[in-house]
Amino acid sequence: MTAKKTKQVPSFPIQVNVLPSRGLPVSIDADEQERAWLAREAGAESVKRFRAELTASRWQRDGVRLAGTLRAALTQSCIVTLEPVESRIEEVIDRTFVPPTSKLAKPRLNSDGEWLLDAEGADPPDVLESDTLDIWEILLEQFLLAVEPFPRAAGAVFEQAEPAEGEEDERPSPFAVLGKLRQSD
C-alpha cells in the first residue's frame, strides 16, 4: 500500500530569542505549489504572485516587531457573472508580539472587569506562545483578510426578477404569517 504524498502547509519559523540587533530580513516568494495552496485557502481561482519583504526585529525588551509589505495578485470568480476578476493586494504589515509574561500581554480592564480598547489607538501586541514565530501563519492571516470576499466584475449587478404580468409575489409577508398563527390560538 502506498502512502499519498500531501503538500504540507508552508512554514517559515524564526527564532525570536536570537534575533540580530539590526533585525532579520525575511523575503518570501511563493512557489507554484504554495500559490496553489493559497488559492484553495482563499477560495480563489489562482494566485499568480505572492511576495513578502519583511524585517523581524526586537521590540522593547522581550518583544518582536514584524514589519514590511505583502504583495499578491490573484484571480477570483465574480459573484454575479462568474467571470474571472483580477485583484491585486498590497498590505503593509506592522505587527508586534510579546511573551505571555509581558505586562503588555494582559488586557487593560476597567473597574467592571471589561476590556478597555482604544478604537483609534494601535492594536495591542499579539502573544507569542513559544520562542518561534511562523512567518507564513502571519502572511496567510494578512492575505485572507485582504482578499475581497465578494468580488464583482466591472459593471456586474444583480437583477431582480420581476413578476410576470398578472402574477403577484406569492410570498406572504412575515407579519401576515404571524397574524395567522395568532388567530389560530
Q: Please say if the pLDDT value at position 4 is more than 60.
A: no
Tell me the per-residue pLDDT of 29-53, one tens digit each, with 9 for 90 and over: 999 999 999 999 999 999 999 999 9
**pTM assigned to the model:** 0.74
Beta bridge partners of 39: none
In the structure grid, which three cell numbers stand for residue 92, read together?
A: 503593509
In the structure grid, which three cell numbers stand for residue 32, read together?
A: 507554484
Q: Which residue has the higher pLDDT, 101 or 76?
A: 76
Amino acid 91: pLDDT: 95
Residue whose C-alpha cell is 509574561: 101
7-11, 29-33, 76-80, 107-111: range with lowest mean pLDDT: 107-111
Q: Please say if the pLDDT value at position 185 is more than 50.
A: yes
Is residue 35 within 8 A of residue 139, CB to CB? The reply is: no
* 3-class DSSP state of 76: strand
The band of 63, judged by pLDDT with boundaries at 50, 70 and 90, is confident
Beta strands 126-127 and 84-98: pairing type?
parallel
Q: Which residue has the higher pLDDT, 171 or 82?
A: 82
| Whole-number Cα distances in Å, 31 to 13, 103, 168 | 17, 39, 56
The band of 167, judged by pLDDT with boundaries at 50, 70 and 90, is low
Tell me the per-residue pLDDT of 81-100, one tens digit each, with 9 for 90 and over: 889 999 999 999 999 998 87
DSSP type of residue 113: S
In the structure grid, which three cell numbers stand for residue 134, read together?
A: 511562523
Cα 157 from chain centroid (whole Å): 26
Q: Please say if the pLDDT value at position 64 is more than 50.
A: yes
Q: Find all residues with CB under 8 Å of 71, minimum gap 6, and list them.
A: 49, 50, 51, 52, 88, 89, 90, 91
Tell me the per-residue pLDDT of 124-156, one tens digit each, with 9 for 90 and over: 788 888 888 999 999 999 999 999 998 888 877
Is residue 10 within 8 A of residue 34, CB to CB? The reply is: yes
Give the whole-angstrom CA distance, residue 28 versus residue 70: 9
Which H helix or E strand runs over 36? helix 32-42
Is residue 155 within 8 A of residue 83, CB to CB? The reply is: no
The count of residues in the chain is 185
Q: Would you tell me the crossing angle of helices 32-42 and 135-146 to the nearest 10 degrees?
A: 50
Q: Tell me the mean pLDDT in the region 22-30.
A: 94
* 3-class DSSP state of 136: helix
